[in-house]
Amino acid sequence: MLMESKEIKELIDRYLAAETTLSEEERLRAYFRSERVDSSLNWAKMLFAYSETASEEQLDPSSVSSSRFDWRRIAASVAIICVTSFGVYRLQENHQQKQMQLAYQQTKEAFDLIATQMNKGTSSVSYLGYYEKSVSSLLNK
C-alpha cells in the first residue's frame, strides 16, 4: 500500500507537469475511483472526480445549431473588440489630456518664477536709480 501510494504521488506530479501517458492517466483515474485512496490525496481524488464529470457533461455538437452558434460567437467577438477599442481610445485621450494639463502647469510655474525674478530685478534697478541720484546729488554739492 505504501509503495503504491508513493507511485501514485509520483504519477500525480508527472500528471500535473503534463508528462504522463494515456495509460498512466487511466491508472490514476482507476485508482481514484477505488475506495482505497490515501487520505492525503483527497484533493487529487476531487480533481479527477471533477474532470470525469466535466468530460461527461460536454455538449454534443450535433445538438447545437452551428450557424446560430457561430453568429453569436462572431457578434460577441465584434462587441468585445469594439468595447476594448473604445476603452483604449478613451484611455489614450485621458492620458493626452493629463499630459497637456501637466505641461500647462509646468509652463505656468516657469512664468511665475520668471515674473518673481523680474520683480526682484525691477526693485533692484529702482534702488540703483535711487542710489545713483543720491551719489550724483552728493557729488554735485
Residues 33 and 89 in one domain: no
Is 62 within the bounds of a domain?
no
- 48 lies in the same domain as 78: no
Number of structural domains found in the chain: 2
Query: pLDDT tens per residue, the chain (141 residues)?
Result: 556 778 888 888 888 888 888 888 888 888 888 877 777 777 888 887 777 766 555 555 555 555 556 788 888 888 999 889 888 888 888 889 999 999 999 999 999 999 998 888 777 777 777 778 888 887 876
Q: Supply the pLDDT for residue 27.
A: 87
pLDDT (0 to 100) of residue 47 = 80
Grid cell digits, residue 45: 481524488
- Which pLDDT score is estimated for 68? 57
* DSSP code at position 125: H
In sequence order, what are the residues at sequence separation of 6 or more whose Cβ sits closer than 8 angstroms to the Cβ of residue 8?
28, 31, 38, 41
pLDDT in the model for residue 100 = 93
Say if residue 77 is in the same domain as residue 129.
yes
State the first-to-last Cα distance of the chain, in angstroms, to the nearest integer.
Answer: 123
On whether both 37 and 90 belong to a single domain, the answer is no
Task: Please tell me the distance from the alpha carbon of residue 112 to that of residue 114, in angstroms, as a whole number.
Answer: 5
Q: Is residue 90 part of a domain?
A: yes
List the domain range (segments joined by +) for residue 92.
73-140
Please report whether residue 61 resides in a domain.
no
